Amino acid sequence: MIAHIDLDSFFVSVARLADPALAGKKIAVVGGKSELGSVILSASYEARADGVHSAQPVKQALVLCPQLILVRAQHGEYRKISREIYEFLLNFTPEIEKFSIDEFFLNLRGTPYDADALSFAAFLQSEIMRRFSLPCSVGLSEAKLIAKLATSLAKPFGVRQILKSQIARELSAVPVAKFPGIGKAAQKTLGKYGIISFGDALAHREIFEKMGANGRKIFAAL
């Protein structure tokens, strides 16, 4: 089994560690030399409810959410905490892929945790909160991309397992846009053929074949 760990709204969570008064408030972490001329790096879930999201210009975010609190990015602190979490995860398996500063893939095959991966995922989530005071979500599957998708569907602060045998049943109505690796260009191509959901995708292997090597790789992971 593959476990994918994603720290929920990581930059925001680190800001709240530094200033607990920010808990529950609409905040956004920004980068750039000047706050108003920069972009959103991460937004709290409270701010996301108003339409604030990453890569959005700060000026636009403030129109959507006038009460938004802007916090400066702390890149050195992010790297430090990410390294500490990676070292903690090494206690369970040496096969770890650091996918980004706030995402990790753990290969549980051959470990004692593979037999009851769901309980282990809940344990990891609890331990990361206890040790680092950071919320995370965990996805499980036999395939990396499905594990990553399971995490995104479990957020925030959730755990979800999607086995390959369950994909057709559990994901039939999920938009293909949520699948890792299907970018805007691929979505546009698939949309031309009426492929909007996972259910649509699973029924049309031939369309993915037409998309070349990348299309075949995506379909193989479905």
Task: Quote the CA–CA distance of 189 and 43 in Å, as a whole number.
Answer: 30
The residues near 94 (Cβ < 8 Å, ≥ 6 apart) are: none
To the query of whether residue 95 is one of the catalytic residues in this protein, the response is no
DSSP 9-65: THHHHHHHHH-GGGTTS-EEEEESSSSTTSEEEEE-HHHHTTT--TT-BHHHHHHH-
Question: Residues 77, 95, 103, 170: which is the catalytic one?
Answer: 103
Beta bridge partners of 57: 39
**Catalytic residue positions, numbered:** 103
